[in-house]
Amino acid sequence: MTQAGERHFTVSVYIFSTEIKPKVLLLLHKKHRKWMQPGGHIEAFENPLEAAAREVREETGLDIEPYLKAPKNYSDNVLELQAPLSLQQQPIPAHGDDPAHYHIDLVYVIKIPHSLPSPLPDESDKVNWFSESQLDQIDMLGSVRTLVKELFADLHKEK
């Protein structure tokens, strides 16, 4: 049971296609009914990258593991994991029996070849690739729209 003000660790993955004109993969969030990136809670016994791969696999049907940076293994079984792009603290409003709380979200960005999504049943109603020009035509949270536009701008700089 979630307590008011509690903080949960989550992951988000912004997935871009490696095409000449890249697209971003978004899903229609069941609760918010807005287009968002795949992601969710980090479960017990998972590190953030394992959670990211699992959430993306469940919500989109895509396997991102080959595109994640492999952990560096130091002595004494210490692993250096791929660092996220950023950490975000997100307020989560009360919903049903859950009081208002926060997500501490580890945000990752990856590039993969364009693939057709095939989410697990009951995970995602709609999953689509969107071009940069389509972003203003879809219903998104302001923070998601801002970050996706910034990430597209970064992709343009890389060329």
Report the C-alpha gap between 140 and 138 in whole angstroms.
6
Kindly give, in sequence order, each residue whose CB lies less than 8 Å from that of residue 26, ignoring residues fewer than 6 positions away: 35, 36, 37, 127, 128, 130, 138, 140, 148
**pLDDT by residue (tens digit) across 118-151?**
887 787 789 999 999 999 999 999 999 999 999 9
Whole-number pLDDT of residue 54: 96
User: Which CATH number do you get for residue 77?
Assistant: 3.90.79.10
Q: 1: which residues sit within 8 A by CB, 6+ positions away?
A: 97
135 found inside a domain: yes
Structural domains in the chain (count): 1
Report the pLDDT value the prediction gives residue 62, as an integer from 0 to 100: 96
Q: Does the residue 76 lie in any domain? A: yes
Residues 46-82 pLDDT 10s: 999 999 999 999 999 999 999 999 999 988 889 999 9
Banded model confidence at residue 40, pLDDT cuts 50, 70, 90: very high
- Report if residue 63 sits inside a domain: yes
**Residue 1: inside a domain:** no
Range of the domain at 134: 7-158
